[in-house]
A and B are shown apart, each in its own frame.
Chain A
Amino acid sequence: MDRLACVSVPELPLQLLLRANPEWVSHPAAVVAEEKPHAALLWVNERARAHGVLPGQRYSAALTLCHGLRAGTIAEEQVQAGVEQLCTLLRRFSPHIEPSSNEPGVFWVDASGLHGLYATLSAWARSIERALLEAGYTASVVAGFTRFFTYAIARAQGQAVVCLRDALSEKAAAESVLLSRLNIAPSARDTLDKLGVRDVGAFLQLPSTGLLERFGPELHALHQLATGHTWAPLQPTPEVIPMLRRHLLDDAERDVFRLLFLIKRELDALLVVLASRQQALVSLKIDCKLEQALHYAQTIAPAEPTLNAHQILDLVRLRLEAAPLPAAATEIQVQAIGIAVTAEQLQMLAERTRRDLAAADRALARVRAELGPDAVTCAVLQNAHLPEASFRFERLLHTTFPTVTASARPNAVRRLWQTPWELPKSALHKPRIGPFKLSGGWWGKQMVRRDYYFVEDEHGELLFCFYDAERKRWLVHGAL
């Protein structure tokens, strides 16, 4: 059976908060949802739990239980950064790490196939715990067989390493874990407590269907997982490869422009990676190994996040000219640091860096010069019914970037002829769809009335035509 381990960094957001406020370490402490007296507690430490303070309680209510309670907020981004840092650390011990999607600080780690690297599973688990301690985190590591039981045992231990021999001993150890240690909604936890269901063993005895009706799908899903009715394989998060490119030079190089050429090649590749991750570049680190065992490093930061290679290279050139290499370079390493941008921001970056509207306008002027002032136009809709009157072409002097939204129901676009032409005789007797009566010029001397039809000609083209009563013939005005 494949082995997995649960690494629990208990109350990770609180541990991160305490790293920022080290004077709170020896006090009861909690993370609150917001800085208000009635804000709910999200995470509490053991000292606070000893006073009866639990997640879900209001801060003002918790203060009555524990006068010396320290509390603060922590941003979601900081928590996410902490999770990513821990993932990177845990990847030193296993290639497959799955962070919990709803409880930061809980990770499932693939423990299989490590016999060649570690003498025993417990040696592996202890090395994980040591590494986390060195990084400043208290954690428990439980190597077992199932997600839920390893999680429950890990949550019950504050700081411990547990290796379970078999699935039976794993289950036995998990059954005594109190439900208050698990990430269960406080209301559900309190209700279960009133019913006398306080530990995992009693929780497993509950009927599954009753849980769904009484407590909803979340607790039901947890019960299904705990009883083994649902099972999901480890879903590790992919490792984020740093945006780093290295180039070994065949011959040592000191010329600025040749170095720029080499840097551009790596930069172009990095910008593609950045864009695919929906990021823009905030800084570029250039590290060069030089002859005579020297080293050269520079960091270039554009004024704002960008994907414009020319802009970045210009800054690199200025830096290389202002601070020349003391010796010729034998190796160049280029690292891009990116920042997430929204799709709209990327679009704006694309607009600013991609098309030069002034150049487009100059091109339009050349077209006007060659083909006449009326050659460059844009269509403008008019409030009229006859097809030729429903729009006009207006002279266009300047190009603009478009602002569009696709229609919900895509429609065909007809071709309209400037001068209607006679319908071929072969189509005269074909079935017609219509009439569609259009008229215009009611206010003038000559009102125009037309009955339009769609006719399929012998070639299968759908012609948009009308009968000209004055000239007594069918005319094609457009085609679909």
Chain B
Amino acid sequence: MSSLLSLASRSPRLGVVVRQAPGWDLEGLNGRISELSSLHSSVAVTVAMGIVLNAQLAGETSAWITTTQSTFFPPDAAALGVSLQALVVVRAEHTKSLGRAADHLARSGGFGLLVIDLSSERASDLQPSVLAMPLQSRLLGLAQKHRMALVVLSNKSTEQPSLSSLVSLRGQVSRRALSHGRFVYDTLAIKDKQRAPGWTHAQEIYGPPGLR
């Protein structure tokens, strides 16, 4: 029913949007599998956490599924405004367990957003079996059934293919410096089954203390 709600008044101010492009808000991600990829495993974390904040502002429950090797830095997430108490963090020993955890959470219908961090391990090559096609197919069906957004973070270049054909939206995140301590995070939609790809969502973001 959140699709019935106008989220305009609740959208987070993720800085000055240099070029506005709807599609990376929760409404645009509901009911589909989206992939946020970047050359550097950390760049997409900021954009993904922005989506978490967007979901929380809309009153949705969220979960971040990652391995114990690395995670988002909670003080940075708290400074952004994310409610850490309301953000479920599932930490598995191995990447291959992430899909199963996502399956359990998606099946319940109790979550509006699931973020699966496939780039939390330092291994640069994404194991194709991590999110096997049958699992992705189930997750897509559950996302559609429960009007849930499923965002997968991956570490790859623009030329590398998406997780699978079931990925409805693929954004490649890059960062460029504006001035001391200020950056613009560009998310280029290189695949979009609902609208034509090629649009960019740009956000002005401040660096952590020390970079400002």
Binding site for B on A (CB under 8 A): 271-272, 275-276, 278, 307-308, 343, 346-347, 349-351, 353-364, 366-367, 370-371, 374-381, 387, 390-391, 393, 396, 399-419, 421, 433-434, 436, 452, 454, 459-462, 478-480
Contact = CB atoms under 8 A, between A and B. Distances in A.
Nearest to A365: B104
A379 B108 CA distance: 22
A452 B77 CA distance: 20
Nearest to B85: A378
B80 interface: yes
Nearest to B210: A436
Given A271-B4, A407-B79, A459-B39, A355 B86 contact: no
B84 interface: yes
A413 B72 contact: yes
Contacts of A353: 1
21 contacts: A307-B4, A343-B9, A347-B10, A356-B109, A360-B111, A363-B110, A367-B105, A380-B74, A399-B88, A400-B61, A401-B59, A402-B60, A402-B85, A404-B86, A414-B42, A415-B71, A459-B39, A461-B40, A462-B42, A479-B41, A480-B208
Main secondary structure of the interface of A (DSSP, over half): mixed
B49 A364 contact: no
B14 A410 contact: yes
A347 B89 contact: no
B60 A276 contact: no
Contacts of A460: 39-40
Given A307-B1, A480-B207, A418 B73 contact: no
Given A378-B85, A381-B84, A410-B15, A416 B109 contact: no
B91 A375 contact: yes
Contact of B91 (A391, A393, A405, A415): A393
B77 A376 contact: no
A362 B108 contact: yes
B209 to A, nearest CB: 8
Nearest to A347: B59
Given A413-B46, A454-B211, 12 more contacts: A272-B4, A350-B5, A350-B58, A354-B112, A370-B97, A371-B101, A377-B90, A387-B73, A408-B13, A411-B80, A414-B76, A452-B210
Contacts of A367: 90, 101, 104-105
A404 B13 CA distance: 13
Contacts of B56: 402, 404
Interface residues of B, number: 79
A379 B83 CA distance: 9
Contact of A360 (B10, B42, B87, B108): B108
B132 interface: no
Q: Which 4 A-B pairs have the closest CB atoms?
A: A360-B110, A275-B4, A402-B86, A363-B108
A400 B105 contact: no
Given A350-B1, A480-B42, A413 B110 contact: no
B133 interface: no
Interface of B: 1-2, 4-6, 9-10, 12-15, 39-43, 45-46, 49-50, 53, 56-62, 68-93, 97, 100-101, 104-105, 107-112, 120, 122, 147, 183, 185, 203-211
Contacts of B91: 374-375, 377, 393
Given A276-B6, A367-B105, A370-B104, A407 B76 contact: no
Contacts of A414: 42, 45, 72-73, 76, 208
A53 B109 CA distance: 66
Contacts of A416: 70-73
Nearest to B100: A370
A275 B49 CA distance: 28
Contacts of A417: 69-70, 122
Contacts of A378: 84-89
A360 B183 CA distance: 36
Given A360-B61, A415-B42, A478-B73, A375 B92 contact: yes
Contacts of B89: 376-379, 393, 396
B109 A359 contact: yes
Nearest to B211: A454
A415 B76 CA distance: 9
A387 to B, nearest CB: 7
A420 to B, nearest CB: 11
A454 B209 CA distance: 11
Given A364-B88, A410-B205, A350 B59 contact: yes
Contacts of B50: 410
A461 to B, nearest CB: 4
A184 B25 CA distance: 48
A275 B1 CA distance: 9
Contacts of A349: 1
A411 B82 contact: no
B85 to A, nearest CB: 6
Contacts of A412: 46, 76, 183, 185, 205-208
Given A276-B6, A355-B112, A357-B61, A410 B13 contact: yes
B83 A396 contact: no
B144 to A, nearest CB: 15
A407 B72 contact: no
Given A347-B59, A412-B207, A415-B42, A379 B104 contact: no
A466 to B, nearest CB: 12
B78 A415 contact: no
Given A343-B9, A416-B71, A416-B73, A376 B90 contact: yes
A413 B205 CA distance: 10
A415 B61 contact: no
A390 B4 CA distance: 39
